[in-house]
Structure 1
Amino acid sequence: MEISTILMSLPLGVTFVVTGLFINLIQAALYLTIRPISKNTFRKINGAIAEILWLQILCLMEWWAGIEVKLYTDLKTYHLMGKEHAVLMSNHISDMDTYILWILAQRSGCLRSALTVVKKSSKYLPIVGWASWFFGFVFLERSWAKDEGYLKTSLEELKDFPMPFWLTIFVEGTRLTPDKLLASQEFAISKGLLIQENVLIPRTKGFIATIQCLRSFVSTIYDVTIVVPKTHPIPSLLRTLRRQPWVVKVHITRYSFNELSESENEIAKWCKDKFIFKVVISCSCVVTLGGWILCHKFGKGHVFLGAILAIVAVTIHIFIEYTKLPQQIREI
């Protein structure tokens, strides 16, 4: 990691790490004391506490980096956002996607109940991963044999959620990269499916299970498409820390669960059809993925202060390593 990026990020990093560890400790205490007595009371308090941490991330994105998120939807959907339980079916272009949707959740008043289905390794990330586990994120191993039972159990636990929630599921199962797009297109050719640009073929087993488990108490699906204008690169943590602004457009179409058949095959077909339409929405965008060589070097100084700054720098380094993308070879 470039030393200039580390130095520029340290003031915010120190605040984030200190606040985040304090919040993690409070969450752990609440989990051990309040949750056994009342799960919903724990959810309400924990949501308010976690929101403090989430807002720091949003502040980093909007105030520090000056990013811009443009929402495209109809007026009815806009007024209902944050006021109803909803499943968000989104494409996945970067590891900033969750935070992009958090900006919309914060504007809609449901940031403290914005849940996400993510890969299992995410929960081991310092501070954010731990906070997400206490918050109620659903962590999957990307193996249906291992994930099916856990996913269904986690979804059933949302039945008595005390406030309107968003549950974001990235149906592609992974973020878009050149290698994954190529593999997805080769798979489509082998199965005689339509070759798609800008999105991967959705993995529908988890989506089908989500619809079936939530149908009795969730009535709405938001079909979310995140796109990047031609002149802008894919969002990344490194660009954010460098105060390099980026712009994304978020298109949301609202559907009722009643529009989906109860047939698994029909649900899968509906999902795949919506992802074909995402190609139409995103065809005006160029996906530009950046690759970086990360390194850092510190000189001697006060031992205690140096240790603190080193911990912060390592934490920042971990996040960037975890979120960095391979270099894009071609333009779409």
Structure 2
Amino acid sequence: MATPPLFLPLVAMWLLGNMVLFFCYQVVIFLAFRGWSPSLYRSYMASVQTAWVDVIASTFPQTDLVVTGDLPTDPTKPAIILCNHQIDADWWYLWDLARRLDGGGNLKICLKQELKYVPVFGWGLDLLEFLFVKRNIDHDRLHVNQHMARFVREKFPFWMLVFPEGTTIHAEMLDKSNRFAQRTGRPQFSRLLLPRTSGLHTMLAATAAIKPDVYDLTLAYPSYSGEVPTAAMGYSRHTDTGVPSMAAVLCGRGPTRVSIHGSKHAFDDVFGKEEAFLDKAWQTKEKLLDQFIANQAFPTIAQGRVLPSKMSWANIGQLWVSAVVALAVSPLVASMAALWYAGTTASDVLACTWSCVVGSPSKATKSR
């Protein structure tokens, strides 16, 4: 069905307008709370994130999420979530899944560094504490450790979404992945890329003090037949046209249902055994995709359940009002933040000066 001529501009205006409003609200929250109360900061940011995902859900085509297996259901408990990565729209359907499981404000996604610098959108995700990486473990190790350590230290129940394949699948990357697997004695795949292990190990090591559960999700779209596009095709498909790109979703063309199968694993069953765990999990995942191709559904003992779409216009309206109020008082908040920063800086300078003055006689005495 053709997209109405005015649909895309209206969607763009709706999303961009809300994005700018929410970003301004985020800046006020950052200035008001980040420096002295991380818990309040995350609480308010979670409300922004929850409303933002409601805004996206109000815009994108309605989709039934057919789920089987084990999924995270308790937003008070941290979790690390792994998933295969077919297309650029995967992140949205997994965020929508978290929203329907009451974890829309908990979800943090591991994304490539370039997205951090997209005006407004990337800046907003950065304030929501999404994890941006360069996909170079030598560079990312310290950054991931520091990022996750804040969540652990401040007892935030994160749901951290990671795509171990590192990128979406295409034929050239699949060939490269399988050649590497052959050299290293690891499994080769026809529908998946070989998962990377170093990033997962770093993340688990950083969260070892709280031992979050690990959930392995397998995502599949209607009409999926296992087609692997070439790099030149980008996010388009010749056969598997039901696999949605973000461009298609923004134009109002999305699947009526998405299938997600989950399995839950204890932290100690994964940490320190990442390569063996991921190799086995991805072999199971490829079999699940084979079965999905044959039946257009994941196998399960119990019947798959459909998670109803949940959206609160009241939450969105409440956030708009809060954002307008926040913008009205933003000059006061900014001045208070500036005074606080100036005061703490001045006290640090005075303390350093006093230490130097008081400490010098003792040093002089010792030198004699």
For this structure pair, what is the TM-score category when the shorter chain's length is used for normalisation?
0.7 to 0.9
1:143 is aligned to 2:142: no
1:277 is aligned to 2:270: no
8 Å contact from structure 2 (residues 69, 261) kept in 1 = yes
Task: Spell out the pairing of 1:1-332 with structure 2 (5 A cutoff).
Answer: 7-61=6-60, 65-74=61-70, 77=71, 80-161=73-154, 163-230=156-223, 233-246=242-255, 247-260=257-270, 262-263=271-272, 266-285=273-292
What residue number does 1:311 align with? none
8 Å contact from structure 1 (residues 5, 241) kept in 2 = no
Q: Give 1:68 deviation, angstroms.
A: 2.9
- Taking the aligned partners of 1:160 and 1:56, their CA distance within structure 2 comes to 31
Q: Give 1:143 deviation, angstroms.
A: 1.1
Q: Deviations over 1:121-141 (max 9, x none)?
A: 111223332211000011001
8 Å contact from structure 2 (residues 81, 162) kept in 1 = yes
Report how many residues are paired: 275
Q: Give 1:228 deviation, angstroms.
A: 2.3
Secondary structure of 1:158's counterpart equals helix
Q: Give 1:192 deviation, angstroms.
A: 3.5
Q: In the alignment, residue 220 of structure 2 is paired with which amino acid?
A: V
Secondary structure of 2:34's counterpart equals coil
- Taking the aligned partners of 1:201 and 1:5, their CA distance within structure 2 comes to 40
Q: Deviations over 1:64-87 (max 9, x none)?
A: x2333211114xx56x34342110
8 Å contact from structure 2 (residues 111, 132) kept in 1 = yes
Q: How big is the alpha-carbon RMSD for the aligned residues of Structure 1 and Structure 2?
A: 2.1
Q: In the alignment, residue 141 of structure 2 is paired with which amino acid?
A: E
Cα 1:91–1:239 shift into 2, 3 Å: same
Q: In the alignment, residue 256 of structure 1 is paired with which amino acid?
A: A
Q: Give 1:5 deviation, angstroms.
A: 6.8
What is the percentage of aligned positions where both structures have the same residue?
A: 20
Long gaps (5+) in structure 2: 225-239, 294-368
What residue number does 1:303 align with? none
Cα 1:10–1:4 shift into 2, 3 Å: same
- Taking the aligned partners of 1:73 and 1:81, their CA distance within structure 2 comes to 15
Larger radius of gyration: 2
8 Å contact from structure 1 (residues 58, 99) kept in 2 = no
Q: Give 1:250 deviation, angstroms.
A: 0.8
Q: In the alignment, residue 54 of structure 1 is paired with which amino acid?
A: V
TM-score w.r.t. length of structure 1 = 0.77
Secondary structure of 2:8's counterpart equals helix
Q: In the alignment, residue 9 of structure 1 is paired with which amino acid?
A: L
8 Å contact from structure 2 (residues 85, 165) kept in 1 = yes
Q: In the alignment, residue 65 of structure 2 is paired with which amino acid?
A: V
What residue number does 1:328 align with? none
* Greater mean deviation of Cα atoms: 28-37 or 129-138: 28-37
Q: Give 1:116 deviation, angstroms.
A: 1.0
Q: Give 1:23 deviation, angstroms.
A: 1.1
Q: Deviations over 1:91-121 (max 9, x none)?
A: 1112212211111111111111110111101
Cα 1:283–1:69 shift into 2, 3 Å: same
8 Å contact from structure 1 (residues 82, 105) kept in 2 = no
* Greater mean deviation of Cα atoms: 155-164 or 179-188: 155-164
Q: Give 1:180 deviation, angstroms.
A: 1.4
- Taking the aligned partners of 2:247 and 2:133, their CA distance within structure 1 comes to 26
Secondary structure of 2:105's counterpart equals helix
Q: Give 1:238 deviation, angstroms.
A: 2.1
- Taking the aligned partners of 2:247 and 2:4, their CA distance within structure 1 comes to 8
8 Å contact from structure 2 (residues 75, 106) kept in 1 = no
Q: Give 1:275 deviation, angstroms.
A: 1.2
8 Å contact from structure 1 (residues 117, 169) kept in 2 = yes
